[in-house]
Structure formats: structure tokens, C-alpha cells
A = this chain, B = another copy of it.
């Protein structure tokens, strides 16, 4: 039951409009990404981001991150990321695999935002020789693994370091929609205008079935990425079914609408959590202090969520769980 599940947005249902778009795509068409839906993505995202974009669909966020990063770095180079970033912790080394061996170079920072001083310090400490791995890219996640939204000026500061050191800047946007919904800014403000070169724009967690977009800003960048996608077995032959999901998510800003609903649910839940909150709730994730006994009580009542180390839990609100849908859990937490 929807009201009971706070495990992850990555297993939520698919939005009806996406299901309809999939059904509507069900006739024979050109294979791979030669169909009209796939071909329409460049224009659609270029409009959304107010700049020329090259866009490639792909079925998973891990693949999206890996293909972009492998496209940006050579096998002997490195990628700065937060030490709790999904690419570092939860992708079984996929970016290293796709890049032929590039090293992830983890950095600290509160709330899973890379600390820019730590970044500068690490950059300065690397000897410029062939013995030490030289970085070629930075990857940040927006919203972060702790549900925080990077502000435009924070990204711009990282972007400036990147440019200064000749590094590409990648944004893992598995929950990009939630960040933009919270910030209420133009998508451009937290991407290319702040120095981001490419974005993994996630839709799967936000109401799609299996659809992410690799967005290269400036209308350039995807040449090798297409080969890496094919080589990774990700050029699905009936690709129009992925492109259709993305188009449905862009239609009438469904991606924003869904994200706003999830964020609103999270905000409602946050109000009930009060001092239990470990981080401000900006997107659709809550990290709350919860004793083992309290957690057990909630689980007995049917709620489903992820433990986050000792005496803490993660609650994720999905697009189909608005403020009303989270009310029972909010009440249950308040009553603990």
C-alpha cells in the first residue's frame, strides 16, 4: 500500500501519463534511437534548459553517470566525488568499469555536498606527475544523498574550481527534479549557467519506468558517449519506449509536478519529525533519529523504510505520496 512504503522512490509506481505514452508508442518504428521520439529529445531539452543540448536516453541512472564520466575522462585519470556519492558507494564500480579504470577520488562535506575547500586542498596536494592520478572531472549530486539541494552559487563555486583546473563538471541528477522543485529556479540556473557540463537527468525515481537522460550542454559532447552506451549494451532496440517516457515526463512539466508532490509529502512528514531530523528537508528524503525500538514500532504498524546506521532511518517520499498520503506515518511518528 502506497501509504506504508517509504523505502525508496526507486520502486514506486509509474505515473499513468507515462504508462499511456508507452502504450501510445506501441507500433512498429525505426529501431534503436532512430525513431521520432528519440530524435525529438535534443530540441525538447534545449528548450527546457534554454541552451543547445545533446541528449541521449538510457535506462538506468548508474549507466547515465558511467557513460558521461567515461566520456569525460581517460582510463588513467580520476573523478572527484563525495565520499558518500552513489557512484562511489552504490554502483559496484560502474564508472571505473565504463572508463576503463578511472579512479573515483572521494572528498568529505556536510550533507553529501563536496566541501569546496577540501576539493581545493586535494587538488593542490596532487603532484603533477605520472605517479599520481590526475583528476579530469568532478561529479556532484543534486539533490544530494542526504536530500539537500545545491544552490546555484554553491555549484558555481565548484564550477569555477573545475574550470580553473581544466576539469569537467558532471551532475548526478537522479533527484534533479526534487532539487529544482525546491529551489524554484530555472533548470539552467543549477546546471550550465553554474558551470555544469553534463547532467544525468533522472526520471525513474520520479514517475517513469526506466528512463534517464544524458544531457550535454552546449550542444556538444555526445560522440564517444554513444559508442560507450552501445558498448555497454544500453542501446535498446525498441528505444522509443524509453524516449516516450521522457517526453511524457516533460509534457506539461510533469517532472516538476511529481517532484513538488513528493517534496510536499516530505515537508509534511518533516513537520511531524521535528527534532528527530538530522538534516534540513529540502527534497523528498528525510533522515531521522529513531531508536531500534521506535523503528520496530513503526514497522509493526506496517511502515517500510531503510535503517541508516544505528538509531537512525531514511524515509523517502515518492511522487504518488503527497501530504495526504503521508499523514498516517506523520501521525505515527508524532505519537512515538
Contacts and interface: CB of A to CB of B under 8 A. Distances in A.
Interface of A: 2, 5, 7-8, 10-14, 19, 22-23, 26-31, 58-64, 66-67, 74-78, 89-94, 96-103, 130-134, 204-205, 209-210, 224, 226-238, 241, 318
Contacts of A133: 92-93
A212 to B, nearest CB: 10
B63 A234 contact: yes
Given A93-B103, A230-B94, A31 B5 contact: no
A23 B19 contact: yes
A75 B209 CA distance: 30
Given A97-B75, A131-B230, A233-B232, A31 B10 contact: yes
B97 A130 contact: no
B132 A232 contact: no
Given A90-B132, A131-B90, A232 B12 contact: no
B233 A66 contact: yes
Given A2-B28, A28-B13, A75 B90 contact: no
| Count of identical protomers in the assembly | 4
5 contacts: A58-B233, A62-B235, A76-B224, A77-B227, A205-B237
A124 B92 CA distance: 17
Given A27-B13, A31-B10, A210-B238, A228 B76 contact: yes
Given A76-B92, A100-B101, A133-B92, A11 B238 contact: yes
A238 B209 contact: yes
Contact of A89 (B62, B97, B132, B134): B132
Given A8-B237, A74-B227, 14 more contacts: A11-B28, A11-B237, A60-B234, A75-B100, A76-B97, A76-B228, A92-B131, A92-B132, A93-B103, A97-B231, A131-B235, A134-B227, A204-B237, A234-B234
Contacts of A22: 22, 209
Contacts of A77: 227
B62 A241 contact: no
A216 to B, nearest CB: 16
Contact of A11 (B31, B60, B61, B209): B31
Nearest to A10: B237
Contact of A93 (B12, B28, B226, B231): B231
A76 B13 contact: no
Given A19-B26, A91-B131, A93-B231, A236 B75 contact: no
Contacts of A11: 28-31, 237-238
B130 A230 contact: yes
A241 B76 contact: no
Contacts of A99: 100
